[in-house]
Amino acid sequence: MTPSSPGWTTVARLDAERMVEALRGQGVRLSMEGPCPGGQVGAAYVRWEEDGRRGVLKWRPRSSVGEARTGALAVVEALREVGYPAPATDLVTQVGDAVVTVQEVLPGSGVDRLTPAHLDQLLRLNETQADRLTGRPHVPAAALHLRDDGPGFCLHEPLRRHSPRTAALERRISALADRYPPLLPGNDAVHYDFHPGNLLATGPDITGVIDWDGAARGDRRFDLVTLRFGLHAANASPAVTDRLDTVLATLPDHVLTPAWAHMSLRLTDWTIRHPTPTGPTPWLTLAARYLP
């Protein structure tokens, strides 16, 4: 551990080779191709040995197939019904305490720099997410974790202990738990991790939105706040960030403030436990924009 992360638990990463072997024991025959780029917990490209199709192997520790089917997979299914570019899931199974999935490989590649044309498409996709879960009451609502810890993210104690400035931010966030509900209200589909690293594009066209593991019910505009934090990390052009800031400025307080607090907590905590050269300073600066 580095001095910036004194004993903090970090997120376990996928051991793809071991998982492929475990699946083989269940009669699922896959061959490894290699790791997918990016991501915090890991994903890997695989091929189905029976027909040579490529897939993306993913896992979610401390989860169950039942939770996946009534949660994130149900969200993706609801969106795919209306043509949303989310990947189909070809396999979902339990391996130990983890849910393992194999998803289709969508066309396109990672977005190096989001353009205004990309943003226009993302805003339209976000509108598509509205009310998609009205007929699926079993899908859980997304949690904000303004006072309680999340499952491996949005931990409060790292902020309390890292520095006076991060401790002050944690106090402001925790205080907001008295003003806002613990779960996102609404029946929209929420991606929950809607940042540029989870987008695929071919030239000017967005061709896929991936990594729906945390998808849940709530207010779709939460994803626009997540996108804004993602653009901050990606050093996006002012043409894109200014346009998105204009959209965010129209959001009501009951949407913008708790979402902003959640993302401030999430990214500050993550950076403390997974140190970067800049540390949490960029997130502290961004947090101040909309937090009371």
pLDDT, tens digit, 9 for 90 and up, residues 9-18: 766 788 899 9
Confidence of residue 4 (pLDDT cuts 50, 70, 90): very low
CA distances for 86 relative to 35, 83, 116, 177, 234, angstroms: 20, 8, 21, 32, 22
Q: Are residues 256 and 185 in the same domain?
A: yes
Report the alpha-carbon distance of residue 60 to residue 30 in Å, rounded.
18
Spell 14-51 as b/e; 16+ CB within 10 A means b.
bebeebbebbeeeebebeeeeebeebeebbbbbebeee
Contact yes or no for 30/22 (Cβ under 8 A)? no
Q: Are residues 90 and 131 in the same domain?
A: no
Q: Are residues 132 and 249 in the same domain?
A: yes
Confidence of residue 2 (pLDDT cuts 50, 70, 90): very low
Helix (H) or strand (E) holding 54: strand 54-60
Q: What are phi and psi of 218, to 5 degrees?
A: 160, -145
In a domain, residue 11? The reply is: no
Contact yes or no for 121/108 (Cβ under 8 A)? no
CA distances for 41 relative to 11, 36, 37, 175, angstroms: 7, 11, 11, 31
pTM for the whole structure: 0.93
Instruction: Tell me the chain's radius of gyration from C-alpha atoms.
Output: 19
Report the alpha-carbon distance of residue 138 to residue 144 in Å, rounded.
19
The CA-based angle 273-150-39, given to 5 degrees, is 55
Q: Are residues 64 and 200 in the same domain?
A: no
Q: Are residues 114 and 55 in the same domain?
A: no
Q: 27-38: per-residue pLDDT in tens?
A: 999 999 988 876
Other residues' Cβ atoms within 10 Å of the Cβ of residue 171? 12
Q: Say which CATH number the domain at 79 has.
A: 3.30.200.20
